[in-house]
A and B are shown apart, each in its own frame.
Chain A
Amino acid sequence: MKVLMCTDGEDFAEDAIRFGGRLAKAMNADVSILHVRPPISPRNRVQLTTARKKLGEWNLEIPGVDSLIRAKEILTEIGLTKTAPLKEEKVSRAFRVDVHGATELHLIGLRGEMVRLRLREGHPVNEILEEADFGDYDLVIIGSRGHKGYSTHFVGSTALRVSDLAACSVLIAKNIKAENAFLLCTDGSRLAERAEIIGAEIAQKMGAKMTILSVAEEENDKEEAMQLTRRADMILSQSGVNAEQKTRVGRPSEEIIDEAKDHDIVVMGASGSSAVKKFFLGSTPLKVIEYGECPVLVIREKRGKISLQGTN
């Protein structure tokens, strides 16, 4: 499994890395940490390069490397990496420009897994998506400030847009408490089934408690929803995970957000709805990410693998 974590140096991003680090450790995953620094007009590139060289002469880190080194320290705290503390100079020199426009540094982890620190320049959403694509990652972890409403439209929009546009699974980490209680949401779609399989694996590895939730939009559909939870439970028990089953009636996004208050992380399949429908109605995962209070793991099958069967 390959995990891409994004940091912008803010506190919430560091919380996300701490959280993602524990997850990656449990899953024995390869980890990359990405920092995207602001795009600079090509007209001023010459001067900016000069300024960066001068920063080197002052023995100061070039911008962005700070955040990456901080992230690396967090991973070491968690016990994911056990590399010797690098001297500052060594880190900046070890950063090399690679073919895909990123600058990177490799570290070898405790169990032989790889940790890469990557630095890109440009618009955050585009660069994260491009990096996720080039690196063929299975999961992107991105922090979010965790405010609701007004400010999410500006501040949290990077996380929101990445979760909508990424070709792989995305974990939006905000208001992180613990990772002991998982809430698995199922709607019977194929991606939900995928979420069940992956969710079960993660829950088992992390030793977490699992609750399965299915939401019926009307009272009449409740029986069907219960059947969905039973089916999900069967899949989970195959992986040796015992789960509590719950059904609710109402609007899916609202019910999930309400139920999630007692849980640490929501696991759900990505929306299968078309772009047009998403534009007008929004999708349930996006609403849960935007208005919910806890981390959301959106499971997606990587593009390309999905084409043979088509979406539900």
Chain B
Amino acid sequence: MIIRVALFIAISEVLLGLAKPGIVAQSFMSDSVFFIMGSLMIATALVKQNLDKRIALAIVSITGPRADRIILGLVVVSGLLASFIGEHTVAAMMMPVGVALIKYTHADWRKIRNLSIAILLSIAYGAMIAGAGTPSGGARNAIMLAYWQEMFDLRISYFEWITLAYPMLLISAPIIAFTLYRTFKPEVTDLSPAVVALKEKVAKSGKMSQKEWLTILIFLSTVLMWMTISDTIGLGITALIGVLLFLTMGIVKWEDLNNNVNWGTILIYGGAISLGIMMKRTGVAEWLSHSFLTWLEPTGIRSGLPLLAVMSFITILMATVMSSGATVGILGPITLNIASLSGTSIIAAGFITVISSSFCFLTAVASPACNIIYGSGYLKKSDFLKAGWKLILLSFIVIQLIAAGYWRLLGH
């Protein structure tokens, strides 16, 4: 369905005379779309390796056998990984780790239901909240970068993004772990048998191969290039350099990329960016923003932090019922214009939209990470509600505090 919308956007932009075909094509395949495509390919190359076992081993080696520390470890590691390679991939990589921990703890998972829920949700929520951590964490980030650049000629580097968005992840991780641990009080708090079994399992698969080291090396250099030279050559081109290296080194075959990358997504995000740009160009975004501000007038909210809180609230509502990418795609042009009309920081408005769009704690369908983890068959839809409402509330408060304190200190 959504593919048809993307195609309709392209066709109608030309037929309604909003832009020349060449311009429309350009807005569909900008550097940001290259960046989305490249990031998806890199994630596929990483997931092809057996790194999940290494990661599992690393987690339990650091955390030890205590359930609360393992849950925190899962949130942090899922978060760290997802902030660079996206929540989809991390959920797919980490789900087996979670299932293994559950199975190795007790043969019948129903006897340790709470522990199972806490372990799996820590992966899903950790990956989900981290999507906004770096530009490569999710396609919606690339959309926001494109909006800033096309609408306001603002360029935010990969590194600047991290400094502004990462604190949210660092503060949220312990909050998520603690809330999950308290909400689903695990039946077993000592996971020693699981840790031993897991170590044995990984020991069987031998030492890390040359190929695995090479994978990590290429990935780290890509991230390094994103942080350093992407300002001049573009995030998209940098990502493509990484992909080219993966292909030339024989780490991933083109067939794998072809089969495992969701090509429709790329078209959809191309459409979203194009739509956003046209909303700005035709004045629709400004008109909507203006009406929104007029509508808010009686409440006394005109600019600054209260306005950001309202944006955050609306974004959370939208992201709960539709995908975060679509939420940012549609809301982005409006929130940025509202900020620009009201004299609020455009950067802060953009970040609050992107970050709030990852607060999809409540349902099993809203975020890809939750949806994939839900596919493990261990969770009920109602399990997402139990801790979800607390986490939405807490995350909302945390992001407002960050906006009021940290971002302000940095001058946004």
Name A residues whose Cβ lies closer than 8 Å to a Cβ of B: 9-11, 37-38, 40-41, 43-44, 46-48, 50-51, 54-55, 57-58, 60, 63-64, 66
What residues of A have a CB within 8 angstroms of the CB of B89 in the complex?
Answer: 47
Rounded to whole Å, the gap between the CB of B95 and the closest CB of chain A is 4
B99 touches A57 (CB 8 A): no
Verify if B309 is at the interface (C-beta below 8 Å from A). no
What residues of A have a CB within 8 angstroms of the CB of B375 in the complex?
Answer: 37-38, 40, 44, 48, 51, 63
Q: Which of A10, A11, A46, A66 contacts B262 (CB 8 A)?
A: A46
The B interface, classified by DSSP as helix, strand, loop or mixed, is: helix
What residues of A have a CB within 8 angstroms of the CB of B374 in the complex?
Answer: 38, 40
Chain A residue, CB-CB nearest to B261: A46
What residues of A have a CB within 8 angstroms of the CB of B93 in the complex?
Answer: 50-51, 54
Within 8 A of A (CB), among B41-57: 47, 50, 52-53
Name B residues whose Cβ lies closer than 8 Å to a Cβ of A: 47, 50, 52-53, 88-89, 91-93, 95-96, 99-100, 103, 109-110, 201, 259-262, 265, 323, 364-365, 368, 371-372, 374-378
What residues of B have a CB within 8 angstroms of the CB of A57 in the complex?
Answer: 50, 96
Rounded to whole Å, the gap between the CB of A146 and the closest CB of chain B is 17
Rounded to whole Å, the gap between the CB of B88 and the closest CB of chain A is 5
Would you mind naming 28 contact pairs between A and B with Cβ atoms under 8 Å apart? A9-B110, A10-B110, A38-B377, A40-B372, A41-B365, A41-B368, A43-B323, A43-B368, A44-B88, A46-B260, A46-B262, A47-B92, A48-B92, A50-B93, A51-B91, A51-B92, A51-B93, A51-B375, A54-B92, A55-B99, A58-B96, A58-B100, A58-B201, A60-B99, A63-B376, A63-B377, A63-B378, A64-B377
Rounded to whole Å, the gap between the CB of A151 and the closest CB of chain B is 12
Most buried by B among A11, A46, A57, A63: A46
A55 touches B96 (CB 8 A): yes
Q: In the complex, A41→B365 CA distance in Å?
A: 7
What residues of A have a CB within 8 angstroms of the CB of B261 in the complex?
Answer: 46
A60 touches B100 (CB 8 A): yes
Chain A residue, CB-CB nearest to B373: A51
Most buried by B among A38, A41, A50, A60: A50
Chain B residue, CB-CB nearest to A57: B50
Q: In the complex, A135→B260 CA distance in Å?
A: 33
What residues of B have a CB within 8 angstroms of the CB of A55 in the complex?
Answer: 95-96, 99
A50 touches B262 (CB 8 A): no
What residues of B have a CB within 8 angstroms of the CB of A47 in the complex?
Answer: 88-89, 91-92, 368, 372
Q: In the complex, A236→B374 CA distance in Å?
A: 49
B376 touches A11 (CB 8 A): no
